[in-house]
């Protein structure tokens, strides 16, 4: 006899609403941080296109930590914090 199992599990944690926000009035700089996996930069290309439509006064600045297996350096994070109002990070696959 063959028994088929549904691989979808019930969620282990309750969803929590995202409550962080930032005032993006004026012409904020938005950091886009790729994690070094393949396609992370390509994904952020599309994010940048959408942000340009939604926030035409905003400017995007690109960052890449370069190696998916390592943490972002303090120097990189400090630079992002100094230059950007907010940051979007992405990883590829």
Tens place of pLDDT per residue across the chain (93 aa): 888 888 888 888 888 998 999 999 999 999 999 998 888 999 999 999 999 999 999 999 999 998 889 899 999 999 999 999 999 998 766
Residue 31 Cα distances to 38, 50, 88, angstroms: 19, 14, 6
pLDDT, residue 51, reads: 96
What pLDDT shows up at residue 87? 96
Q: What is the pLDDT of residue 93?
A: 65
pLDDT score for 66: 86
pTM, rounded to two decimals:
0.78
């Amino acid at each position: 006899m063959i028994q088929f199992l549904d691989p979808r599990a019930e969620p282990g944690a309750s969803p929590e609403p995202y409550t962080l926000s930032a005032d993006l009035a004026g012409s904020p700089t938005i950091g886009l941080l790729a994690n070094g996996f393949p396609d992370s930069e390509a994904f952020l290309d599309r994010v940048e296109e959408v942000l340009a439509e939604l926030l035409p006064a905003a400017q995007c600045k690109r960052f890449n930590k370069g190696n998916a297996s390592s943490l972002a350096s303090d120097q990189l994070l400090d630079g992002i914090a100094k230059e950007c109002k907010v940051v979007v990070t992405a990883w590829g696959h």
